[in-house]
Amino acid sequence: MQTLAQSPTAPDFVQNPYPFYERARAAGPFFHWQDYDLICTPSAAAANAIFRDRRFGREVPPELARPIAPHTAPFYAVEAHSMLELEPPRHTRLRSLVLRAFTSRRIASLHGDVESLSHSLIDALPEGAFDLITGFAQPLPVIIIARLLGVPEDMAGQLLRWSNAMVGMYQARRTHEMEVAASDAARDFSDFLRRYVDERRKAPADDLITQLIAAESDGERLSTDELITTCILLLNAGHEATVHTIGNGVKTLLQTGTVAQILSPETLPGAVEEILRFDPALHMFTRTAYETVEVMGHTFHRGDQVALLLGATNRDPQLWDRPGKFLPHRPAKPNLTFGAGLHFCVGAPLARLELQIALPILLRRLPGLRLAGVPRYADVYHFHGLERLMLTR
């Protein structure tokens, strides 16, 4: 197996990781990423197989678990109840209960909220140059999640700060200071939500927290800690990916002259799927082997970790014609942006709804929209998103 070196925080990689992925692809279905000391795959077939193979999962086998540093304990106390980090049977129970509350009907009911909020945010944009990330891409999904949960919209800025601090734990540039900030945010976020859960137990309302409290499956309900972690997960995962996808998507549409594909109802769904494929918000997701298993010629043993490079799998020429080109008219085909298998993203329908409503409104309301500077990606790998997107109308 070939070993490749590439700092995930190097400026050239942060701005454009795709040349490295192509170098990695030439090494075969798996390679050793020296900087992580980790086996990785850029192969769509390998990643799809691992996502769906129950012999791999998110939980680390107990005998291989590392001790938790005291300063990170509040963060991992929240993670301990996250369905994103759990395997069956706990994952099955949690996901079943969450899906009883986070229904397709509830998501569809947000259509009007996304529409009116998109218009309000556009109305508030300045006349001159503006940053789409802070002016539109960030507030939209955070406020929608706040409304969905039933917490005050004026908390959106604080929710964003807590979320940004917590997702720092998944970034290659993670430092001791970031770990402390993530733990502080986890503690404060939990305390805030605990008060709301207590209130909703006494006085139910028409919101997701109340629905999560009421959700029941085979006599089981979510504990308060599970409720809190689920709300945090919905906010963190639901906001982070959508912010980056809006920014990356608008940048790509403007650079490729394909805005018209978003404005037509016939081509809109395909254009959104191409945005999700072409420059996704999450580029790396790991799995751990639970037993000896062979995948495409490589043997994994219990405890071995493998990184699925979603930014690379979505440009695998074995699956996609001209994968490095943004082609909104591509025939519909599944990509791995939202994962696959047991852990397929529960928020995918909401993300698609937000993109399919907000992007046409933005681009129809501001038909002269153009770049007002070179777009810059933020140093946030394993995520991939813009630190700012300066535009002018």
Instruction: Please answer whether residues 75 and 179 qualify as being in contact, where contact means their C-beta atoms are separated by less than 8 angstroms.
Output: yes
Task: Provide the CB-side half-sphere exposure for 85 (13 A, CA).
Answer: 16
Q: In terms of Cα–Cα distance, which of 179, 182, 174 is closest to 36? A: 174
Domain that holds residue 22: 3-392
Q: Which residues contact 374 (CB under 8 A, 6 or more apart)?
A: none
Check residue 111 and give its pLDDT. Answer: 96
Q: What is the pLDDT of residues 146-172, one digit of tens each?
A: 999 999 999 999 999 999 999 999 999
Instruction: Check whether 232 has a pLDDT greater than 90.
Output: yes
Q: What is the mean pLDDT of residues 359-380?
A: 96
Instruction: Check whether 72 has a pLDDT greater than 90.
Output: yes
Q: What does the alpha-carbon distance between residue 44 and residue 29 come to, in Å, rounded to a whole number?
A: 9
Check residue 135 and give its pLDDT. Answer: 97
Q: What is the pLDDT of residues 85-140, one digit of tens each?
A: 999 999 999 999 999 888 999 999 999 999 999 999 999 999 999 999 999 999 99
Check residue 237 and give its pLDDT. Answer: 84
Instruction: Check whether 217 has a pLDDT greater than 90.
Output: no
Instruction: Check whether 216 has a pLDDT greater than 80.
Output: no
Reported pTM: 0.95
Give the Cα-Cα-Cα angle 137, 161, 361 (nearest 5 degrees).
15
| pLDDT band at 294; cut points 50, 70, 90 | very high
| pLDDT band at 391; cut points 50, 70, 90 | very high
Give me the CATH number covering residue 192.
Answer: 1.10.630.10
Beta strands 3-4 and 31-33 are: parallel
Share of the chain above pLDDT 70, in %: 99
Instruction: Check whether 268 has a pLDDT greater than 90.
Output: yes
| pLDDT band at 240; cut points 50, 70, 90 | confident
- Max Cα separation, the chain? 60
Phi-psi region of 21 (alpha: psi -120 to 50; beta: other; left: phi over 0): alpha
Q: Domains in the chain: how many in total?
A: 1
Q: What does the alpha-carbon distance between residue 178 and residue 184 come to, in Å, rounded to a whole number?
A: 10
Check residue 332 and give its pLDDT. Answer: 84
What does the mean pLDDT of the chain come to? Answer: 95
Q: What is the pLDDT of residues 17-64, one digit of tens each?
A: 999 999 999 999 999 999 999 999 999 999 999 999 999 999 999 998
Q: Which residues contact 278 (CB under 8 A, 6 or more apart)?
A: 252, 314, 315, 326
Q: What is the mean pLDDT of residues 309-333?
A: 95
